[in-house]
């Protein structure tokens, strides 16, 4: 709810959480000519399960409208995400004919190279993106078909760049865990709040400056989630989402440094010196922190289902 905010954790439902850092201002995002307003919010961390989440978000109705207006090209930005490569490497090790589900497959960016060797299935609500995935040999099914078990079970399931969008992340994770064969694995690709060192300004971190990013896990949340859905933690890969050349990291770092110096100590010597630099003095008045897209702020978590389930 945008008016009253979240009173409980989206994952475990606990009402005890702590505010992390300073509140963040609201902002607008324009998608296909329509403006979506993210209300002002703070970031809270659940005391019980370690999930970080926004105190205020778009309403479910507005989020649905937001996703419907996203163009399929949005999902096909890059073919070289380090997170994608980790997922592809795991898929490469599966035997021929294995059944794989990508929940939120977009255009089939990750599965497209495996559709001939593996039996690839996807869930994708964006019609344009789903059409491209079908052309790449991925069978598109609905979430309801998955819940009903009409899709059968899978040797591997991908949840890539989706967890942060879920208003009920545990319910979705439980559903996916139920669709795993014994010994099968679930790979979750998402942001890692533990990698954000400037917790004072976590609400302004680029990850939360997207209206559809509702939450961010911590590494403490991972074993909690695994236990909750009946899986075990098989691997945890910390990495950047983007493959940014070193030469393209310098300017964003300088901009970020200037912004945080102004926010931390406006009257300090460093801030005074920065005001003398024409290209950096504007950082004092920027509404939010510049995006640093090259840090290891993502994690690929692999959760495995036991091969022998207790009767």
274 φ, ψ (degrees, to nearest 5): -65, -30
Q: Are 99 and 121 in contact (CB under 8 A)?
A: yes
Q: Residue written as tokens 């979705």?
A: 172
CATH number for domain 79-243+295-304, candidates 3.40.50.720, 3.40.50.150, 3.40.50.880, 3.40.50.300:
3.40.50.150
| Residues 227, 33: Cα–Cα separation, whole Å | 43
Q: At what angle do helices 169-178 and 221-229 cross, to 10 degrees?
A: 50
Q: What is the dihedral of CA 170, 311, 234, 94, to 10 degrees?
A: -100
pLDDT, one tens digit for every residue, the chain (311 residues): 333 478 899 999 999 999 999 999 999 999 889 999 999 999 999 999 999 999 999 999 999 899 888 775 555 655 678 999 999 999 999 999 999 999 999 999 999 999 989 999 999 988 888 999 999 999 999 999 999 999 999 999 999 999 999 999 999 999 999 999 999 999 999 999 999 988 999 999 999 999 999 999 999 999 999 999 999 999 999 999 888 888 888 888 898 888 888 888 877 888 888 898 888 889 888 877 888 888 899 999 999 999 875 54
- Domains in the chain: boundaries: 79-243+295-304, 246-285
The pLDDT score that the predictor gives to residue 291 is: 82
The pLDDT score that the predictor gives to residue 157 is: 98
**What residues contact 245, with CB distance under 8 A and at least 6 apart?**
none
What pTM value is reported for the model?
A: 0.90
**What residues contact 85, with CB distance under 8 A and at least 6 apart?**
none
Q: Count CB-CB contacts under 10 A for residue 111.
A: 26
Which residues are bridge partners to 188 per DSSP? 159, 301
The pLDDT score that the predictor gives to residue 294 is: 84
Which residues are bridge partners to 12 per DSSP? none
């Amino acid at each position: 709810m945008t008016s009253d905010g979240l009173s409980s954790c989206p994952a475990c439902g606990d009402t005890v959480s702590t505010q992390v850092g300073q509140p963040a201002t609201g902002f607008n995002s324009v998608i296909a000519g329509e403006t979506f307003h993210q209300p002002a919010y703070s970031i809270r961390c659940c005391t019980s399960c370690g999930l970080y989440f926004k105190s205020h978000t778009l309403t479910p109705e507005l989020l649905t409208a937001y996703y419907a207006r996203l163009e399929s090209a949005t999902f096909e930005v890059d073919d070289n995400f380090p997170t994608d490569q980790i997922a592809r490497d795991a898929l490469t090790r599966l035997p021929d004919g294995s059944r794989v589900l990508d929940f939120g497959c977009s255009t089939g960016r990750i599965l497209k190279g495996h559709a001939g060797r593996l039996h690839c299935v996807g869930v994708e609500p964006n019609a344009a993106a789903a059409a491209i995935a079908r052309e790449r040999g991925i069978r598109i099914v609905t979430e309801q078909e998955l819940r009903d078990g009409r899709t059968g079970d899978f040797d591997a399931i991908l949840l890539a760049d989706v967890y942060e969008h879920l208003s009920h992340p545990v319910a979705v994770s439980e559903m996916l865990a139920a669709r795993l064969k014994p010994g099968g694995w679930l790979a979750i690709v998402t942001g890692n709040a533990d990698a954000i060192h400037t917790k004072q300004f976590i609400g302004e971190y680029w990850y939360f400056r997207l209206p559809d990013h509702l939450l961010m896990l911590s590494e403490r949340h991972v074993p909690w989630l695994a236990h909750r859905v009946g899986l075990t933690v098989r691997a945890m890969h910390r990495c950047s989402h983007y493959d940014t050349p070193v030469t393209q990291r310098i300017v964003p770092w300088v901009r970020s440094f200037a912004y945080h110096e102004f926010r931390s100590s406006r009257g300090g010597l460093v801030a005074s010196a920065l005001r003398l630099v024409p290209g950096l003095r504007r950082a004092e008045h920027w509404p939010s922190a510049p995006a640093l897209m090259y840090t290891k702020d993502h994690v690929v978590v692999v959760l495995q289902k036991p091969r022998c389930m207790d009767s």
